[in-house]
Amino acid sequence: MRRIAIMTAGADAPGMNAAIRSVARRSFELGYDVLMVRDGFEGLVRGDIEIMNKKTVSGILPLGGSIFGSSRVSPEFAVQNLGKIRDVLESNSITTSVIIGDRSAVAVAAVLDANSIPCVVVPNTIDNDIFGTDFSIGFDSAITTISDALDKLHSTASAHHRVMIVEVMGRQSGWLALYGGLAGGADFIAIPEQPVPIETLATHLKQRKEEGKDFSIVVVAEGYPVAPHESTVAGRPVAGYGLAEALASTTNLSMRVTVLGYLQRGGSPTVFDRLLATRLGLAAVNAVREGKSGILVGEVGQRIAFTDLREATTQPHVIPADIVLQAKTFY
């Protein structure tokens, strides 16, 4: 008899509950026992585990966040607690863990796999920075939030003739900035992958002003390299304010900054994310049934794809060059 543990790990993202539901429903269909792990890897170490039934996942499809709770830990945490993790899994007769989470969760899962602890990962992060899948669950919901925010900011930027700097998440990747900015009609998009001189952006904004366009929307990823600013979050310079400060010194334009922050991670998942979570959750359990482990379950070219966790951990998920080129048409 297979006994599957389900946990959500890393930063929360819309669609986690939809993925939980899918994994559980397919497992029930196959006659597997299903156990929930509360609070991710921290809960696993504590042994905070409970048997699930169909009622556990009833009505959770549209809910944001995770009904299990989540935690973000490092691979070192897993190394230090391997003995406890083994004991908890063995005492509960768990044969495989299905981990729904972000890039940090993939890295921890890779440690478990390297130590012969069976696991399968379902990628769930708004950053869309996990190799092995075209899109991670939660990304579509986040860019929908960003584009909705830009729609609203356009009216106030226009009314007051200002440059609105909108900072979105993405410490190492510009997926959110690029896709959200394109969908929301941004006038310039600044991503870490392709930084430009501040003079280039200043010139662009001034040219818009000369052309009679008396407001602009600039979307910047939080990891975009700009001069340090006194405003910080968790000790990190805030890219939006740093960019506004740099532009203020080279233009006479009125600047305002909006940091969308955790709004991007909240709320109900979009239809796309619900469907993606359903597909990947089903595929994860089917992979377990086939005896697979140590893999990330993704969707590449609308087909289910399996990627070794070590590769998923070490390879970057690069924005397609043609998308970057297409975006430049609009600024």
Dihedral angle, C-alpha 36, 42, 46, 49, nearest 10 °: 0
Mark whether 127 is an active-site residue.
yes
User: Is residue 325 included in any domain, yes or no?
Assistant: no
- Catalytic pick from 127, 129, 187, 273? 127
Residues 108 and 85 in one domain: yes
The pLDDT score that the predictor gives to residue 328 is: 86
Residues 260 and 202 in one domain: yes
pLDDT digits (tens, 9 = 90+) for 277-312: 999 999 999 999 999 999 999 999 999 999 999 999
Pair 297, 36: CB distance under 8 Å? no
pLDDT digits (tens, 9 = 90+) for 115-152: 999 999 999 999 999 999 999 999 999 999 999 999 99
The pLDDT score that the predictor gives to residue 331 is: 79
User: Is residue 329 included in any domain, yes or no?
Assistant: no
Read off the CATH number of the domain in which 38 is found. 3.40.50.450
Structural domain of 122: 3-138+269-314
User: Is residue 36 included in any domain, yes or no?
Assistant: yes
Residues 50 and 168 in one domain: no
User: Is residue 326 included in any domain, yes or no?
Assistant: no
pLDDT digits (tens, 9 = 90+) for 197-206: 999 999 999 9
Which amino acid makes up residue 59? G
Residues 101 and 192 in one domain: no
Residue 188: what are its φ and ψ, rounded to 5°?
-160, 140
The pLDDT score that the predictor gives to residue 127 is: 97
User: Is residue 331 included in any domain, yes or no?
Assistant: no
Residues 249 and 295 in one domain: no
Pair 193, 220: CB distance under 8 Å? no
User: Is residue 86 included in any domain, yes or no?
Assistant: yes
User: Is residue 288 included in any domain, yes or no?
Assistant: yes
> Using the 8-state DSSP alphabet, how is residue 187 labeled?
S
The pLDDT score that the predictor gives to residue 236 is: 52
The domain total for the chain is: 2
Residues of the chain with pLDDT under 70: 227-238
Residues 80 and 127 in one domain: yes
User: Is residue 59 included in any domain, yes or no?
Assistant: yes
The pLDDT score that the predictor gives to residue 252 is: 87
Read off the CATH number of the domain in which 155 is found. 3.40.50.460
> Which positions ≥6 away from 142 have C-beta within 8 Å?
13, 14, 126, 169, 176, 180, 264, 265
E strand residue ranges, 38-112 = 49-51, 96-101
